[in-house]
Structure 1
Amino acid sequence: MDEWQARVESDFAYREGWVYLQSAGAGLAFPGAAEAAGQYYRDVALLGCDAQPSWRQAATGAKQRTARLLGVSEEEVEFFRNTSEVINLAAASASWHPGDEVVVAADDYPCNVLPWANAEAAGVKVVRVQPTAPSTREQQLLEAITPRTRVVSVSHVHPWTGTMLDLNRLGRACRDVDALLVVDGIQALGAVPVDLSYVDVYGAGVFKWLMSGFGTAIGVFRERAREALTPIFRSYGNPAPSTSFSYAAPNFPGLYVLDATLEYLEDLGWPNIFARVEQLTGEVLTALDGIGVASITPRDVRAGIIALDHVGDSALVAHELRQRKISASDKAGRILVSPHFYNTPEDIARFAEALSDVLVTSSPSLSG
């Protein structure tokens, strides 16, 4: 065992004897997260309001580390409560004109579809693309873009098929018609490299692949978005004519955790983390091939989620896997497997063995 893997394994003491494959639902916290959260409350207990310099230091650290990870300026990074808040802020801050169109995928996560309902009520046409297959998802979205498109709102990684979109390709198509590209990045950030060169609004909660708990989300509003959108919420954080969308104090305890976690992940090395996720998802696909189970996640555009369809009763399969101490997700009638860097090839082998056993021993129940 190399030193890097030994360190990781010692830092993530998940339940003994279990395999955790639900990082797309919630990432495991590293040991320093509890200490970081506690430090905020110790600071306040000792200093009260005079602890503000420490709050600001944690927020600044988290902002700087996030900016490095995303390749954007610190001024473009803000913090919100969740991904949905970021997307809703973008949707509610737009000015619409007759004939405007918004392109979404009809099967996308609700926060990428529902925020545009008010625009639709105002006469905007919301084009709901119905992807016919994971492999055609991106092309169908591209084909829906017209000169009337003002916004394309998508998940970087579709949560129920694991399909990853090429944001540069989509973004260039948006630029061609002067549209904004709004991206929900929660299922990508921390699992794969993210390039925001052609993204205008980006939102990502930090409780999944960034392993930093609920109540905090990263929001990036780039120059084109700040020129096109007028912040719908105003308060002491962004009085007019500010173009900032951060209108009030962020979740400072959460930023203590995020800053500490990002420092830990930087020390492990983002290239190492991304390579590990790619390796493990590849091993999942190979293992599935070995037991004759198909994945609907395209191999060449995957991130951290591998989705299994046609396994019968997915709820029953997930239950039976848990009986074998394998934690996997049951979502949208599919089994989702989402290893992170703290998983091992042995974890993947155990999952495949358990799944094969479940499908064989429970086949009458699974088939109907």
Structure 2
Amino acid sequence: MNLDRIRQEFPVVQRCTYLNHAAVGTLPTRAREAVRAYVEDFNEHAASNYRDWEAAIETARSRAARLINATPEQIAFVKNTTEGLCFAANGIDWRSGDNVVLNDLEFPSNVYPWLNLAQYGVETRMVESVDGRLTVDSIAERIDGRTRAVSISHVEFGNGFRNDLAAIGALCREKDVCFVVDAIQSLGQTPVDVEEMSIDLLTADGHKWLLSPEGIGIFYCAPHLTDRLRLYEVGWNSVADAGNYNAYDPTPAPTARRFECGSHNTLGIHALGASLDLLLEVGIEAVQERLRLLTDRLVDGLRDAGYRVLSPRGASESSGIVTFDSPVHETEALHRTLRSHRILGARRGGGIRISPHFYNTEEEVLRVVDALPGH
């Protein structure tokens, strides 16, 4: 990894210490230039080059598929993670008395769509975490003959705990339960393989670790569910014969494009495609290794300074998120102190959440420790 060259993609490093990718990621220069080229083309030529825009959309789709070991036909573009989770929650053919298994570490996006199913008699079962962790056994205990889905984040937003998707996926496959994954906190920082992990449905917005703007994300649907998942949004672009505007034939497209009911967020997709190009060029395994190095340095520094690290740090459970607090200092005061030093993190999970990315340096993450008060 040529760090000097990579950092040229991120002019934000000249302005602040940005360590908040679990909230909103930074936009690399190549993504900015992709957007600029699209906007200038639109401004100067209107839609004369529409076919080029369509080609860019399909290039981004292919890159997204490559990122998770899927095929382009299994990828749809969505507005955000919530929309993808709504596709999942509303797509299952529920019966009164069915249930879905969630947990108490989830962001609301992976809770509300499922709670909304109560009006149809669907029960939401919550797995309780222990010490900020979830176990496969605790999930298995909540599954019974009426469980239709398990929906879980790959990486939990508050403390960065990384769930064992391969083990949970195998459990769901054994129990014939739909396995739904919220991957917004993992795509771009942690390898994901939908085949090896037995994932049925996956969704992620692009504006965090995927280094893209808000308003564009991806939705993966496993082939065996494409025809089984009920559509609750249907439009001109989701049908098989999308180019025939007078046919009025609602037959869905045979691919995941059936989840794209209308016009694309073409600007956002141009940016996402460019950012995916960078991530694939660097390699997600290299990104994960880099983040392990950076977060290990941060954790060691915090502990030496007397701070409590709340994030699980085992090799199989850690991520690029480090959340910590102090036995003495208030979290809000610590947050203000960091901001006064132009160090940007967030208040999450009962403490301060720091989330660097692969372009950050060891010196940058240690600025956090240097800026904090002692004990």
Q: Please, what TM-score do these two structures have when normalized by structure 2?
A: 0.90
Q: Contact 2:107–2:157 at 8 Å: present in 1 too?
A: yes
Residue 135 of structure 1 corresponds to which residue in structure 2? 133
Alpha-carbon distance, 1:103 to partner: 0.5
Deviation at 1:210, TM superposition (A): 0.9
Question: Within the alignment, does 1:78 sit opposite 2:76 as a pair?
Answer: yes
Spell out the pairing of 1:327-346 with structure 2 (5 A cutoff): 327-346=344-363
**Matched-pair contact (CA < 8 Å) for 1:102–1:124:** yes
Measure the CA separation in 1 of the matches of 2:19 and 2:333.
Answer: 17
Determine if contact 1:103/1:149 at 8 Å carries over to the other structure: yes
Q: Which amino acid aligns with 1:247?
A: C
* Aligned match for 1:194, one of 192, 195, 205: 192
User: d(CA) in 2 for partners of 1:106 and 1:247?
Assistant: 32
Paired residue for 1:302? 318
Other-structure match for 1:250? 264
Structure 1 residues 330 and 94: alpha-carbon distance in aligned structure 2, compared to 1, 3 A threshold: same
Which whole-Å deviations, capped at 9, do the CAs of 1:254-277 have from their partners, x for residues lacking one?
Answer: 111111122222233333222211
Counting only pairs closer than 5 Å after superposition, residues 24-39 of structure 1 correspond to structure 2 as: 24-39=22-37
Percent identity at matched positions?
31
User: How many residues are matched?
Assistant: 356
Divergent runs of 4+, >4 A? none
Q: Which of residues 256, 269, 275 is equivalent to 2:283?
A: 269
- 2: CA distance, partners of 1:263 / 1:136: 33
Aligned-pair distance for 1:94? 1.7
Task: Measure the CA separation in 2 of the matches of 1:162 and 1:309.
Answer: 14
What is the match of residue 5 of structure 2? Answer: 7
**Higher helix proportion, which one?**
1
**Root-mean-square deviation (Å):** 1.8
Per-residue Cα deviation, 1:12-54 (whole angstroms, up to 9, x for no partner): 2225463211111111111122221122222222332322111
The whole-number CA distance in structure 2 between the counterparts of 1:178 and 1:149 is 9
Higher mean Cα deviation, 295-304 or 14-23?
Answer: 14-23
Deviation at 1:125, TM superposition (A): 1.2
Number of the residue aligned with 1:212: 212
Give the distance between the partners of 2:76 and 2:171, measured in 1 at CA. 26
Distance 2:342 2:104 in 1: 35
Contact 2:134 2:163 in 1 (8 A): no
- Select which of 40, 47, 50 maps to 1:49: 47
The answer for the alignment partner of 1:235 in structure 2 is 235
> Gaps (5+ residues) in structure 1?
361-368
Give the letter aligned to residue 296 of structure 1.
Answer: L
Residue 247 (structure 2) aligns with: none
1:267-323 Cα offsets, whole Å, 9 max, x none, are 333332222112112222222222222212111201111111445422221111111
CA shift, 1:116, in A, is: 1.3
SS of 1:26's equivalent? coil
Contact 2:136–2:167, Cα closer than 8 Å, also in 1? no
Taking the aligned partners of 1:309 and 1:140, their CA distance within structure 2 comes to: 27
Residue 296 of structure 2 corresponds to residue 282 of structure 1: yes
Asked if the contact 2:128–2:134 (Cα under 8 Å) also holds between the matched residues in 1, the reply is no
**2:100 is the alignment partner of 1:90:** no
Q: Secondary structure at the match of 1:330?
A: strand
Cα deviation, residue 188, structure 1: 0.3
Q: Distance in 2 between matches of 1:120 and 1:106?
A: 18
Unaligned runs of 5+ in 2: 240-249
Q: Secondary structure at the match of 1:50?
A: coil
Residue type of the alignment partner of 2:371: A
Work out which of the residue numbers 179, 183, 186 in structure 2 matches 1:185.
183
Work out the CA distance in 1 between the residues paired with 2:371 and 2:293. 20
- 2:102 is paired with a residue whose SS is strand
Matches of 2:45 and 2:322 in 1, distance apart? 47
The match for 2:21 is 23
